[in-house]
Every structure is written in structure tokens, then in C-alpha cells.
Chains A and B, each alone.
Chain A
Amino acid sequence: MTTLLKAHELRHSFGATPALDGVSLEVRRHEILAVVGESGSGKTTLLNVLAGRMNADQGTVHYHDGANLRSLSELGERELHRLQRARWGFVEQNPRAALRLNITAGGNIGERLMAAGDRHYGNIRAIATHWLEQVEIDPKRLDDLPMNFSGGMLQRLQIARMLVTEPELVFMDEPTGGLDASVQARVLDLIRSLVRRLGLAVVLVTHDIGVARLLADRLIVMRQGLIVESGLTDQVLDDPHHAYTQLLVSSVLPA
């Protein structure tokens, strides 16, 4: 499998706190990479740096655009922005932060299409309807405001809004973290089937080993800004080598 994203020796501190302390990794096309670790271990910081939302103090992130490996810092703001709005996607833990709650479901899903230049109202609606179906929301809700949606529906709407440009790489930060356990299972199932069907590459941040086990091909375990262990999900979880991973797997650590 070809490399899609490559991070080299990322370091970042907030004041005296080292959030990333020399992190290198690769994300391959069509694979799901989970980043696990306790709260404060640097997962969100890593995700933001990988997604070009934040610059690390040191280190590089390269993206393979199909032809070349290109450094994010050399892309320029405009090209990076375009990448983020079309070929990449980001799923926030809190869908309310990503969605426009006073805009209809259709308008929310259509925004990325319109930003990319689609100027056909009927076409935008047809595509939005398709994606509502894909995330198992009744297409009759197309013209409803998300204000009245349940938490699980909001999260699925956020996913539809992001998938509408058919991205190849998606970043997710605790995508089910804010949901009730019963709702979580459904959203996870949905993510799993969509990701496989669409052949997405995903970087998934979670503190929940169960989520990683369900979704991820590969896993990296972070602690205090460092990768302490990585490998195929089943191997790492069934036979953890590092003492910290062993604690995580036996769920002794607080989330």
C-alpha cells in the first residue's frame, strides 16, 4: 500500500508541556490508523498537526498528492485550504462545532460542494439526499434544521457533510466520544461500513481501546507525546509489549 501521509520527528510544546516529543508515522492509502492513549498524551495535538490545522514547533508532514510527496508547509495556505475542503475531511468530537445549526441539513451537506464550485441547486440537493441516505438519515429531513436533531443524528450529519466531496483521507477526533453508549455502536458501525465501502484512509484518535479494536487496521499507542508501541491492531492488543499498553488494554487507566 502506498504512503498517503508521512510525519517525521514532530515536536511541539505548549509552554513547558511537551505535547509531541518526536513523533514519526505513516498513513497508507485505504488504511485506518488509530491513535490511542490516555487523556493528555498528545493525540489531539498530533491529529491537528497531521491535518494541517496547526503547525508543530519542529518536524515535517508530507502528503502524497497522487504524483509527489509534498510538505504541508510548502503547499501554501490556499492549496492546503483546498485540500482540507475537498480531498480531506475532519470529524470533530462535537458535531455542533462543525455544523451550521441554523442552516438546513441540505445546506450543511451542500457547503463543500458549493465551495468547490457546484452551482446547480437541483444537483446539490440530489447529492445531499444521497449522502443523507448513506448516513441513515431519512431524506425527508433534507430541509430540516439540525437544531432539532439528536446527538447521534448530528454526528452522522457531520459525517455526510464531510464525505460529500468524496475525500481520500479523513481525520477523526473521538468521533463517538460525546454519544450515549447505545448510539455509539450505531455510529461506529456506520463509520466502519462507509470507510470500507469508500476506501478511505482514516486517522482516528480515541482513548477507547474498544473503538480502536473495532475500526483500526493499525494502531499507535501514545504516552506523554511519545509513541510507545505500534503495529497491527490485533497484534498490539492481543500481545502488548509495553507496560503502558498492557495497562491500557486491561483498562486500568482512566480515559
Chain B
Amino acid sequence: MKGYNFAYLDENTKRMIRRAILKAVAIPGHQIPFASREMPLPYGWGTGGIQITAALLGMSDVLKVIDQGADDTTNAISIRRFFALTAGVATTTHTAGASLIQTRHRIPETPLRQDQILIYQVPMPEPLYRLEPNKSAAMRLHALADYGAMHVKLYEDITRFGRVATAYNHPVMVNRRYLMSPSPIPAYDNPKLHRMPALQLFGAGREQRIYAVPPYTEVRSLDFVDYPFHPGRAQHNCSQCGSDDSYLDEVITDNDGGRLFLCSDTDFCQNRQKAAK
């Protein structure tokens, strides 16, 4: 598009972001501050993820954008269109065909490869913020690897509810060193973080933080030996493709309590439907 640099951000800003990404990759799970720019969309719409995508996109990249697993929501469509306009890159809805995937709150069902990069939009990068709202105090806890308080929270969940009650954003230990927020992905997705062949990058625009999980890095969900982490999933089949192991959304269909379950990953679901025909 005329009047704009390739992928919207100027080259100096991209270099600044790439430096933050390199640091993040060098210290898996550790939050790196960066000078987040104003983007032509509001905070909470993925300004952190978009800046990472803009800094990484090359002419030959193929971009996929999902919001809660779907390619066809307003947020996903506008971001995809934004980069089609400002960078002229090819876009796709196919997980397997994308080189860069920007996501909000899901990891695709189709396993990712070493030549792909997954970019998460992160609203709150600090896993300790509820326990330690003071940012510099939270940073000290990370520096000292003092995560006792986080386990106290899990202890309290089990004591009150009989199990760990975090269905989303369940905290993980990265490379046995840093406690990390996986962003609000369902606990169901947590095991996919572990030893994923693709590079995973996390961007928080408002909070001005970037962090990373390099390929094949150990990522463990916090739990207790006698209360192991177990990713939850609705015990149903997808009403479209019949999948019994994908992550499902519950859809209310009428006013009489009618409902059905659908794959949250639209690309995965459509591929299965095509294959069945």
C-alpha cells in the first residue's frame, strides 16, 4: 500500500522488536520489555502479536490469523486484511500452508512444524500479577525463581474445588526456570506447548512485553504429583466433523436450551469434513 512501509512498521521499529525477540529466544519464558508502538487498532485486539508479526514478515511468507481457533471472526479477518494490504503477503486459512500463524487464545489442532512460527496475542504477560501486583516485586520473584506463591494458589484450588480450577491460562514452567503465562489458551492446549517444533512467540502490546518458547523446549504445566495436571475437554463429538478429541465450543442454538458442540479450530474441522466426503 502506498505511503506505508512494508508491513506498516518502519524498519527501525522492526529491528528494535527483533532484538527483543532474540533476547526472548535466548532466555526461554523470560519477559523482555520492548517499546511497544501505537497500532491502528485498540489494545486488547492483539497489538503485541501484530507488532511481532510485522517485524518477522517477509515477502514470501504466508500468513494465517485465528481468533479462538477461527479464521472468520472480525478480529482475525481484520488483522489478515491489514497485512495483506500493508505487506501484500499471501494469506491462508490452512494451518499446514502457513509459515506464520498469529493466534488469539488457541493453538491449532494440526501439529506445527519446525519451519513455522506461532505468534500469540497476550493480554497479561505476568503470571504472578494476581499474587504480586507490584511489578518490580514480581520481577524479583522471577529472578529468585521463587514460585511458592503460585503453588499456594493451586493448593487452594484443590482444597476448595477438589481440583486445579484454572480452565484457561494455566501457568507453565519453561525450561525448568521461568514461570510463564501461556496466554488465555484453554488448559486443553497446554500439552501442545511442550517440545513444539515451531518457534512460539508471545506479544503483549499494552504491557510492552515479548517472550518466547524456542523449538523443542520443555514446557510443564504446574501441578502436584498426586494431583497431576489434566487438560479438560467437553465430553462430546463435534456436530460437524464428528471429532472426539479436538477442542470444542458450545453453541446455543435456540431458546429452549438446545445446544451443539463444534470444533473451535475451523480449519481442522473443514479438513475433516472434506476428507469424509
* Residues of A bordering B, CB below 8 Å: 77-78, 81, 85, 100, 103-104, 106-107, 110-112, 114-116, 119-124, 143
Contacts and interface: CB of A to CB of B under 8 A. Distances in A.
A28 B146 CA distance: 29
Nearest to A114: B151
B178 to A, nearest CB: 14
8 contacts: A106-B155, A110-B152, A111-B152, A112-B148, A115-B147, A120-B224, A122-B226, A124-B155
A107 B224 contact: no
B12 interface: no
Contacts of B155: 106-107, 110, 114, 121, 124
A143 B148 contact: no
Contacts of A119: 151, 223-225
Given A107-B156, A107-B159, A120 B148 contact: no
The 3 closest A-B pairs by CB, nearest first: A115-B148, A114-B151, A121-B224
A125 to B, nearest CB: 8
B144 interface: yes
Interface of B: 143-144, 146-149, 151-152, 155-156, 158-159, 223-227
Contacts of B224: 119-121
Nearest to A77: B144
B79 to A, nearest CB: 39
A90 to B, nearest CB: 15
B163 to A, nearest CB: 11
B225 A115 contact: no
B144 A103 contact: no
A81 B152 contact: no
B227 A104 contact: no
A78 B152 CA distance: 21
Given A115-B151, A120-B226, 9 more contacts: A103-B152, A104-B156, A104-B159, A106-B155, A107-B159, A114-B148, A121-B155, A121-B158, A121-B224
Contacts of B158: 121
A121 B152 CA distance: 10
A106 B265 CA distance: 41
A112 B155 CA distance: 13
A81 B148 contact: no
A107 B155 CA distance: 7
Nearest to A100: B152
Contact of B146 (A85, A100, A110, A120): A85
A115 B146 contact: yes
A123 B225 CA distance: 10
Given A120-B224, A121-B224, A103 B148 contact: no
A111 B149 contact: yes
A110 to B, nearest CB: 6
A121 B226 contact: yes
Contact of B144 (A81, A112, A124): A81
B174 to A, nearest CB: 17
Contacts of B226: 120-123
Contacts of A110: 152, 155
Contacts of B152: 100, 103, 107, 110-111, 114
A188 B227 CA distance: 39
A120 to B, nearest CB: 5
Contacts of A85: 146, 148
A104 B147 CA distance: 18
A81 B137 CA distance: 13
Nearest to A142: B159
Contacts of A124: 155
A33 to B, nearest CB: 29
A107 B148 CA distance: 10
Contacts of A111: 148-149, 152
A104 B161 CA distance: 13
Contacts of A77: 143-144
A143 B147 contact: no
A147 B158 CA distance: 20
